[in-house]
Structure 1
Amino acid sequence: MTETTDLAVLEIKPEQAPALYVENGLDAYLAAIREMAKEVPDVTTKKGRDRIGSLAQAISRSKTAIEKPGRAYLKHLKEAVRPAEKELKRFVDECDSIRDSVLKMRSDWQEEQDRLAEIEKFNADHAEALEINAAFDKALAERIESDHEIALLMNEKIDREREEAVRIAEQKRIEHEQRIAREYEERAKREAEEKAQREREESARREAELKAKDEQAERDRIAEKERAERQAKEAKERAEREAKEQQERSERLAREAKEKAERDKQEAIEAERRKAQEAEQRRLREEQRIKDELAQRTADENHRKRIGTETVTALINVVGLTREQAINTFKAIKDGAVPHTNINY
C-alpha cells in the first residue's frame, strides 16, 4: 500500500472480512490513507491543484474499496441472524400462548369466585339498608307528632312577633327611601361638579395639545432647517474631501508611476551592469582557461623535453651512441618502433 492507487484497486475476499471488519481492524488502511494525505502539493500552480484533486479522488476510491465489501459483509451478517430471530420469536410466542392457556383455568375460577363474593356482599348490604330504613321511618313518625303539639303552642307568640316585624320593616323602608333620596341628590351634585371639572380639564388639555403642536411644528421647522444646513455643509465637505482625495490619488499615482519608471530604469541599468560583469567574468575565465591550457602545454612540453634530453644523454653516456644515434633511437622508442619498450612521461 505504498502507491496511492493500491487501496483504490484493493479486492477484499469474503473469507478476509471477519478478520478485517472488527474493532481497529482497518487501522492499517487508515494509516496508509493518512500517509497519502501528508503530501503537500504547491496550490499556487495548476499542476499542484490537479495533484490535490487526484489525491482526494484516490482517498475517495480507497474509502469505497474498503467500505463496499464491508457493507456487503454486514448485510450478510444481518441476513444470517434474521432466521434465528424469526425462530426465537415463534418459540417465545408459542410458549406465551401455552402458559396463558395453563393460567386461564385458574383465572376463570378466580373470576367466578369474585363474582359470587360480589353477589353475597350486595345481598348483605341490601338487608342492612332495609333495617335502617324501617328504624328511620319509625323515628320520623314520632318526631312529626311531637312537633305538631309544640307548633300549636307557638302560634300566638309567632303572630305577635310577626306584627312587630311588619312595623319595623315599614320603618326601615321609609328610612331607606329617605337615605336613597339624599344619596341621589348628593350624587347628582357631585356628578355635575365632576362634569364641570372634566370640561375644564378637557379644555386645558386641548389648549395644551394645540400649544404643543405649535411648539413641535416650530421645533420641526428649526430641525429641518438645521438638517438642510448640515446636509449642505456635509455635501460641501464631502465634495472638498473627495476632490482632495482625487488630487492626492492622482499625485500618488503620478509619484508611483515616476518611482516605477525610476525603478525600471535602475533595474535596467543594474541588469546591464550585471550583464557586463558576467561578460567580463566570462572573458576573464576564458583568458584564465587559455593561460592555464598554455601553461599546461608548456609544462608538458618542458617535461617531455627534459625526459628526451635525459634519455638521449643516457644513451650517449651509458650505451656509447653518438648524439645523432641516440636521438634516432629515442624517436624510434617514443614512436613505438622498438618492440617491448616505451617512454614514460
Structure 2
Amino acid sequence: MANELVVIEKSTALEVFKSSDSVEDIIRKVEQEVNSFIPDVSTAKGRKEIASLAYKVAQSKTYLDGLGKDLVAELKEIPKLIDANRRTVRERFDTLRDKVRQPLTEWEAEQERIEAEKQMLAWHEEALEMNAAFDKALAERIESDHEIALLMNEKFDRDLAETKAEAERQHIAHEEELKKQAAEQARLEAEQKAQQEIEAAAQREREAKEAAERAEREKQEAIQRAEQEAKEAQERAEREKQAAIEAERKKALKAEQARLAEEERKRQEDAKRQEDKEHRRKYNQETLQALVSNGFDEKLATEFIKLVASNQIPHMTMNY
C-alpha cells in the first residue's frame, strides 16, 4: 500500500502542503527508501521486489496528489459558505429591523389618519358656522326690509289720504307687489348663496373623507406589504437554512464514510503487518532451530539471523 512509504494524518494535511520543507521531508524519506534498495534482476523474486517498490512510489504520488486535490476542493467550498452566511445575516437583520420599526410605522400611519379626521371635522365645523352666519344675515335683512316697508306704507298712507280710494288701493297693491318681489329676490339670492356654501362645505367634507379613506387604504396596503415581505424573507431564510443543514449533513456523512474507510484500511494494513510479522517470526524461529541443531550457539545464531534479515551481510538475504 501507498502508506508503507508515506503516511499523513488528514488533520495535518493542510499544514504539510502549506510548507515546502514538509513536502521536501516526505520526498527525501521516499528517496532514502529508494536509494537504500538494492535491485536484483537476476531472480524472479528480485524483479518482483523492483516492480513492487516502483508501484509503491507511484501509489505514494497518487495518494499525495489526491490528498492535495481534496484539500483544494474543501477550501473552495469555504467562500461559498461564507457568502451564504452573509446573505442570511443581511436578510435576517432586515427582517429584525422591520419587526422593530413596525410599531413606529403603525403609529405614524395612525397619526396621519387622526390628522385627516381632524381636518375633516374642522371643515365640517366651518361649514356649520358659515350656514349659521348666512341664516342670521338673511333673517336680519328680511326684518330690515319689513321695517322699511312699514315706514313706507305709513308715508304713502299720509300722502295719499286725500286721493281716491281706488287710486290708494292700486298704489298699495303696487307697493305690496314690489315688496313681495324684493323679498322674494332677496330670499332667492340668500338661499342660492347658502346652498353654494353648503355644497362647497359638503365637497370639502367629501374630500376629507376620501383623504382619510385613502390614508387608511395606504396604511393597510403598507401593512400587507410589510407582512408579505416578512413572510417571504422568513420562508427564504428557512429554505436556505434547510439547504445549509442538508449540505452539512451530506458533508458530515461523507466525512464519516471517509473516516470508516480510513479505519478499515488501517485495520487491514495492521492485520497484514501483523501477519507479515508473524510470518517472519516463524521463519526466523525455524532458521534459528536449524542453526542450533547444526551446532551453532543460540545467541550467536540469533544475532546472525538479525544481521541477515536487516541486509547487513553482503550477498545474503532471508527468503520469507
State if a TM-score over 0.5 links the two structures.
Answer: no
Q: Which has the higher contact order (CA 8 A, sep 6+)?
A: 2
